[in-house]
A and B are shown apart, each in its own frame.
Chain A
């Protein structure tokens, strides 16, 4: 009875552990045998773990390690995502609930589900008004939140649960830009899953090496997919026939561990950028959709003005500071801000602030002065703020 419970709770390990520990209750040969098997398994896993150190982490530690949010475990905000088409964003909080804020509506639906634990990533489905993918510890949830309904607590019947044995915790998800496919990755699983969400079926794409997949990002035209691994390796998948090429490791795993946290739009360019400028001190960057502003997350946020044609240029533009004592944890540009770029920053004290940059596109007017952008940036800093409740 107890062994069945152990099997259910902790799998084979738990069962063997249980049998070994209750040596006086079970026959001697069984206890000895299970002890031997357990030792063998532990030895094998420790060997595997020495190859890939991240596998020795517990599930929560792993999520904290590979989450896009800095200091994920003690952060009030667990994850953040703008809707790609409308003024709407979703925030995952410390108590594993998700809130959705809309620009012109006071209703903020709260999403709760019994499988929704340790939310690590959120992403709205492109070309869809309602679907939100949530990467949880044990599974992948697809919420269908009706944008017209006024209910504040959508039932858990609105959520689809997608899971695959051996594929948890999920730390990164990425919708294809056409909205037809969802790719999910787990640092434990060497295969990444390509989900057909409506059919709830997954195609595993397995490549041995690297010990798992931690970060995924589609190129904007949907033709490539970047998959970073915990070790010094990342792959670029071509999404027509789903073949991949391995990219050479940079300069030891240290830098690539940084790289996995990059939010990359034009990642080839980014690669060159990191390689040539040797900017190894930052931990998170974000590029606005037009490719003209680049934000780098340090103790404060440094904003650069960039231009990719005719040659790649990077000009310092200004800094964004938070309240006293608050550190930035996560940032993301609004995907389609009309008048320039809108940077949303999640701070360590649980605030979310929106920092607009007003400029006209370089393609139209030949660029604007960084001073002007800087001025507007400092001026508008506190004008447009949304507060979330601090969760105990």
Chain B
């Protein structure tokens, strides 16, 4: 017994001692921590509350920021390279132009010798310098205006708004000037009767020599301005600055070689059209600029010559030939610059999947994918993902590998999460669109309305173009004229511009819907700041979904602040109601006018096209995901993909359902007419079909690879039923 007691006592003592020790140690630890903190603050790793300067951490963050910026400089460097090439190609095109413009069938030797002497003349060199300037400016405009997501106007009015937008006006002005410059160079090069604006002529009655206006020169200059404007105008209408990615990868030189005939053909056709239009225009209105120029520059009009704004004057074969040739030259220089820019920008960019050094971690694929600052980098990253999933075994293995300490599949998790969030974002967008279309049918009139509320709403909803890409999830400042148009003109005319929006704000039927959507819950989380037009449009039904989307996406890029409505407007006021009724009356009155209807009617399929405007990203995400999952069947050693497989499958099936439903809407499945020959890229018009095909192929890729094993995957029964269809090839 005693023995036992002693033992117990000694044990108690030792535990007590241990406790003491532990206390001591925790104290020590605390002190040490404090010391470390002080030290860290001293070195600058941590900010003390009183310190206001930059700590090392801040500097490191700044460096990362810089690095990210450098990353997006990729495009700038590519643009510079493309401009350099177009400048280098300029002498060649100029030489061809000289040869063609001086062409004479019957004196070939004289023709050649004349051309060679002309090519070395100082005037030609000067013209070349001017042309280089033009090419440089064109290249800069390309860089400034290019867009990966096309802006799709939903009504003719919206199109008109884009064309008349200040930014676009500046663009047109610059292009007019450049057109005149090029035409001036061209007329100097052609020489002969075109070379100068003033020519000496003899007056008929007195016989003395005075300076007269050279109408041929003026004609060419004006043609240049006209072509410049029409280029700028068509640039908007045909989405000239939309850069699309090719379905296959090619090296730059073969691609350039392949596209060159198309560019030549396009510029010839465009030049012929422009020449015809300009000749018609000059025939009717040519008198005005002629008299204006001659009066301002004190030039006489030579009455002995045939005036050009007459039928006989215009039916001059050599004049028309020279006009067409110089027009072709003009368009060709511009188109070539655009083509080179496109080829350079859309070149694939390869990111490392993971790096051994933490400094480079920012440039790795998973990080860039998650990044939302630059749309371009996101495009490149997804393209790279799609490529690596198909072509590169070693890089796939890097995706499937585990992190060294810890053993987490960070790479795969980040990549799959990003792809899935992209796809679910598209699903939500489609569902929102379907809801909007469905609710359009049953318009309830809601009497109580706060006008300020609906006005502010419509100002945020309204935009000249469909602004899907402006949603915070993509959250990237877009370079479309429409977006600027929205922000600048947006707040002013709410009633007038409401018809611009494609969905809820269909022009004449549903002002109430908008109110309904906004009014349901004034104290909702959305109340102060409107997150995005889309979320507002989505309405109460989907609020849960949209909050979710907000949480898994990036923080909103630039929330549009809406003035909070005054308290009085929250309850129905007689004034507001009266105003509302007036508005309805005005609208119904306007709806009967043909021109208004023409301008404001929605273009068919425009909203459908706009919904899928940035779907290239989704297509790549689908390809990347499906190929990675299929490859994981044999290459994934750690079973990394298995954990996310149910998520991926259900996400794909849900998207498929949304897409299927979308294609049942009117106009959604009608094919656009095929473009004959134009420089503007129209692939965005068929992106929705491409997305549908890619989606089905992606699901088939997974189902054929996994086969019967899919039955072991934990997914809901409806989804399983749908997948069973795929297993039996019945889709």
Contacts and interface: CB of A to CB of B under 8 A. Distances in A.
Interface of A: 83, 85-86, 88, 127-130, 147-148, 178-181, 194, 196-201, 203-206, 222-223, 239-243
Query: DSSP class of A's interface residues: helix, strand, loop or mixed?
Result: loop
B696 interface: yes
Contact of B250 (A199, A201, A223, A241): A241
Interface string B241-253: 0000011111100
B395 interface: no
B254 interface: yes
Contact of A196 (B250, B257, B258, B690): B690
26 contacts: A83-B729, A85-B704, A86-B729, A88-B729, A127-B704, A128-B693, A128-B696, A128-B697, A129-B729, A129-B730, A147-B729, A147-B730, A147-B731, A178-B627, A181-B248, A196-B690, A198-B692, A198-B694, A199-B247, A199-B686, A199-B687, A205-B254, A240-B249, A242-B249, A242-B250, A242-B254
Q: 7 tightest CB-CB pairs across the interface, nearest first?
A: A198-B690, A196-B247, A127-B700, A129-B729, A198-B689, A198-B693, A199-B686
B352 to A, nearest CB: 18
Contacts of B701: 127, 178
B623 interface: yes
A131 B674 CA distance: 21
Contact of A240 (B391, B686, B697, B726): B391
Interface in B652-677: 671, 674
Which of A179, A181, A201 has the most chain B CB within a 10 Å cutoff? A201
B686 A200 contact: yes
Contact of A181 (B247, B704, B726, B730): B247
Contacts of B251: 241, 243
A81 to B, nearest CB: 15
A199 B731 CA distance: 20
A197 B731 contact: no
Given A178-B701, A203-B247, A240-B249, 19 more contacts: A83-B729, A127-B700, A127-B701, A129-B729, A147-B729, A147-B730, A178-B697, A179-B697, A194-B247, A194-B248, A196-B690, A198-B690, A198-B694, A199-B247, A201-B683, A203-B258, A206-B257, A239-B248, A243-B254
B453 to A, nearest CB: 42
A323 B556 CA distance: 74
A180 B674 contact: no
B12 to A, nearest CB: 71
B391 A85 contact: no
B250 A198 contact: no
Contacts of A194: 247-248
B730 A180 contact: no
Nearest to A207: B254
A179 to B, nearest CB: 5
Interface string B389-421: 011000000000000000000000000000000
Contacts of B627: 178
Contacts of A201: 247, 683, 686
A132 B36 CA distance: 70
B414 to A, nearest CB: 24
Nearest to B686: A199
Contacts of A199: 247, 683, 686-687, 689-690
A86 B257 CA distance: 41
A44 B230 CA distance: 40
A205 B259 CA distance: 10
A347 to B, nearest CB: 28
A242 B729 contact: no
A85 B248 contact: no
B342 to A, nearest CB: 13
Contacts of A197: 693
A130 B697 CA distance: 11
A161 B704 CA distance: 28
A45 to B, nearest CB: 20
A242 B248 contact: yes
Given A129-B729, A178-B701, A205 B258 contact: yes
Contacts of B696: 127-128
B687 A127 contact: no
Contacts of A83: 729
A199 B689 CA distance: 7
Contacts of A148: 730
B543 to A, nearest CB: 34
Contacts of B683: 199, 201
Contacts of B731: 128-130, 147
B247 A180 contact: yes
Nearest to B247: A196
